[in-house]
Structure 1
Amino acid sequence: MQTNPNLAAQAMPDWPAIAAVVLGVTAFSVAQGVTYPLISLVLEARGVSPTLIGVNAFGFALGLAAATLMIGRLTQRFRAQHLIVAGLIGCSVCLATFAAFSSMPVWFLARFVLGFCASVIFMLSEAWLNVACPDRLRGRVSGIYGAAVCAGFAAGPLAIPLFGTAGGFGFALTAVYLALVAFATGLLMVQTRTVPEPSSTKDVFIFFRHAPMLVAMVFAFGFADIAAISAMPVYFVKSGHSEAFAALSVTVLALPTALAQPFIGYALDRLSRHAVAVGTAAVAAGGYIALPFLDQPVPILVAFGLIGAASFSLYTCALTMLGERFRGSMLVAGSAAYALTYAVGSGAGSSLTGLVMGVVGLDAGPLMVGAALAVFTGFFALSGRRRG
């Protein structure tokens, strides 16, 4: 009698799959941490206008959207592990393209492919992580995954001062690194026992209908996360702090976020997952609301670090609860729905915060984000009571 290996993982974790997923997504996070600032700096040094730099960056967003819509068809035709390795190789080729060519149309196409491959890696990695992990360990494994993503994004920009922006050396070295990780990931995947089940575009929209609060959690994360990264450094400078302080705030945002995720994961396995999610949302809301009332650097950085850790913890909670509530094809569909929701939430967070600061007043930016998170916290707490 044969047994379903995905069901077997509910008793014993599939450690090779978990290791392959974490290794692959960490490598891509490092690469994305390099490319986001490095491409902008290189294009700016070439005299490219800010408008064209923004248009070039839009290619990445188009690639993310295309992958989300095609993930069902891809998983029906190819095995998930092959798609993840192909995504890593595709990212490596794109980075090598940035090093070898200087044409703007070529870079736009490379950023589109990079966004497509990135989205495939993240969606399938999150689905596979939940398939490979039993529920008793799901929070801790999700916490390690979240810490790896945060650490990769934080470490990526360090390549810029080490290797500079000229000559494409940073792109080339990162491309080689990704190719090596793709090879190592492929070796690990030979030993795996589990695999995500194929999904479809229809399943994505079914997921939206069946898990509105999980989708809302991801939206709140995207809204708060991008507001912190894009709008708050501007807020600090305009409120009288130095540009060096604004740059330091981004580092302070990233490091506690990475360090906190394993502890959040442990709490998710030991406490009520709904209560942990409500608590993290409340801390993020309180941090934003407190910012305008703080004027000393240390308290501001402490509050900002709490904002980063708490807002990303919302995503760790959503990822854990996805695996707790759903099985089979809905895991890939849920990951795709998360990707779409994060894109919408992050777009709303950056644009609305900047608009409110410009129209209403500087302090209105963090207060608006904090108020929105507070309203979400209340709705989420009430939804948990109704379900209970």
Structure 2
Amino acid sequence: MSQDSVPTYSSDIPLTKPPLAVASIILSMSLIAVGAGLMVAYIPIRLVDRGFDPSVPGWILTATSVGGFFACIGTGHIVRRVGHARAFMSLVALMVLSHLAIAATEAVWVWLVARMGYGLSIAGVFIIAQSWLNDACPNNWRGRVMAAFYMSYILCIGVGGFLVGQIDLTGSEAPIVAIAFATLAILPIGMTNLRAPLPPESVSVAFRAVWKISPVGLTGLLAAGGLTMMVQGFAPLYAKSEGYTQSEIGLLLFLMQFGMIFVQMPLGALSDRIDRRIVLVLTSALVAIFAAIATQSSGIGLWPLIVLFGLWAGAGETVYAVSNAHANDRADPQYYVSLSMTMLFAWSVSAVVMPGIASALTQVIGVTAYMYVALVIAVIYGLFVLYRMTRREAVVQDDQEAYEPLAGQAAYSPELLVPASADDVDQKEF
């Protein structure tokens, strides 16, 4: 890339102070998350109200994941071409267009294509925001900022879900509200002059090498992609099929997010003190148990359902975060980026394939299909981790990296964390 193709800033323009700049990025993503949570709830409710088979919202969720897959492999290329700020705002523009298409027509095929574009945009802006935060934050408070970023993002998805109970879903009000939040999200990014990170270096995917480093970590991401996407995507569909009102579904989606935080945080902290594989077996068992209970949850009432889905979602998020941490424990530092890129690819594939399988099964056995898919995934993964514990010693506790909370509903791309000027490690050779 030529030097003049990289966005630059004049040295006489004062740069935004890092704390304020970091807040602007978090605010932008929080606004986007509100619209995201609203649309995740609106689409299945609206489609069921229009008389569509419950599998149709599942296929639209799968299309969203397909868009996210392309974002995972393509966002780095976009950023290398135009820089972080332009890439961010271009992807938000695509997000607005996807919401606008849904507001303009009720043709299902248009909704499917629009949500694919939305999946690309939401995953892309999340990846860019992570990269920017990582670059802007000094080491001594980066971890706290990233934790605040993930928590605010997850909670604002819940706020968006809650809004579904407060607006009229018979028209186009929901996508218009989502457009408003996405448009507002441009302002904090557009008004900051925080220096953008250097363009990222290209990073390769290496399944064979990563399998040798951490089979448990790699398969954990293959499991987590499906687990996290299905619980969040199918929960409003199941609640609607059970006859819950809009406001009750909104409350369910809002309070589920607290389960994701309050289950992941203590289990993640526990994984810093014991063999992480024990925690992965425990969380897999929890997912399996909660999924099994969910298959029999018809008629149990709103509050027990909220507790059940919150704990289930939190256990699935923990599989994602602890699998990442375990893989990093096994890898040498020079392999971290390619390791994470490969695991991102695994997560993306699972996030497409597993909801697709659940959608196909929904046509056969109904809206509980995703519960059985999650149950099978959790059991297989838990048994695999137990097997691996007999084949390899645990990582010495002093060699373990500190656990960091991660949001399993969105992509994490390490590619954007490696500037093109980095010459200390040749990641392409991994």
TM-score, structure 1 as length reference: 0.70
In structure 1, runs of 5+ residues without a counterpart are: 1-12
Matched, 1:216 2:214: no
The answer to whether the Cα contact below 8 Å between 1:30 and 1:153 also exists between their aligned partners in 2 is: yes
The answer to whether the Cα contact below 8 Å between 1:253 and 1:305 also exists between their aligned partners in 2 is: yes
**In 2 relative to 1, CA 112–204 (structure 1 residues): closer, same or farther, beyond 3 Å?**
farther
Cα deviations by residue, 1:126-159 (Å, 9 ceiling, x for unpaired): 4444455566656544433332332132222223
Matches of 1:363 and 1:59, distance apart in 2: 20
The answer to whether the Cα contact below 8 Å between 2:32 and 2:185 also exists between their aligned partners in 1 is: no
**In 2 relative to 1, CA 232–353 (structure 1 residues): closer, same or farther, beyond 3 Å?**
farther
Q: CA deviation at 1:175?
A: 0.8
Q: Matched residues, percent identical?
A: 19
Which residue number corresponds to residue 79 of structure 2? 75
Matched, 1:199 2:202: yes
The answer to whether the Cα contact below 8 Å between 1:253 and 1:308 also exists between their aligned partners in 2 is: yes
Which residue number corresponds to residue 144 of structure 1? 148
Matches of 1:253 and 1:273, distance apart in 2: 27
**In 2 relative to 1, CA 131–275 (structure 1 residues): closer, same or farther, beyond 3 Å?**
farther
Which residue number corresponds to residue 355 of structure 2? 347
Q: CA deviation at 1:257?
A: 1.3
Which residue number corresponds to residue 393 of structure 2? 385
Q: 2:315 aligns with which of 297, 310, 318?
A: 310
Cα deviations by residue, 1:355-375 (Å, 9 ceiling, x for unpaired): 9989xx999777645523422
Matches of 1:237 and 1:14, distance apart in 2: 44
Which residue number corresponds to residue 96 of structure 2? 92
Which residue number corresponds to residue 285 of structure 2? 285
Q: 2:181 aligns with which of 157, 177, 180?
A: 177
The answer to whether the Cα contact below 8 Å between 1:354 and 1:365 also exists between their aligned partners in 2 is: no
Q: CA deviation at 1:208?
A: 4.9
Matches of 2:394 and 2:319, distance apart in 1: 20
Cα deviations by residue, 1:207-227 (Å, 9 ceiling, x for unpaired): 855665433232232343355
Between structures 1 and 2, the one with greater helix share:
1
Matches of 1:36 and 1:91, distance apart in 2: 14
> Which amino acid counterpart does residue 87 of structure 1 have in structure 2?
L
Q: Give runs of aligned pairs for residues 119-268 of structure 1, distance below 5 A.
A: 119-133=123-137, 140-188=144-192, 190-192=193-195, 194-195=197-198, 197-200=200-203, 202-203=204-205, 208=210, 212-226=215-229, 228-229=231-232, 243-244=243-244, 252-260=255-263, 267=269
The answer to whether the Cα contact below 8 Å between 1:198 and 1:329 also exists between their aligned partners in 2 is: no
The alignment covers a number of residue pairs equal to 366
Q: CA deviation at 1:312?
A: 0.9
Matches of 1:299 and 1:117, distance apart in 2: 35
Which residue number corresponds to residue 31 of structure 1? 35
Q: Give runs of aligned pairs for residues 350-369 of structure 1, distance below 5 A.
A: 350=358, 368-369=376-377
Q: CA deviation at 1:251?
A: 5.4
Matches of 2:143 and 2:134, distance apart in 1: 10
**In 2 relative to 1, CA 128–287 (structure 1 residues): closer, same or farther, beyond 3 Å?**
same
Match of 2:41, SS?
helix
Cα deviations by residue, 1:279-335 (Å, 9 ceiling, x for unpaired): 265145135337758998787765553332232133334566788856896498357
In structure 2, runs of 5+ residues without a counterpart are: 1-16, 397-430
Q: CA RMSD in A?
A: 4.8
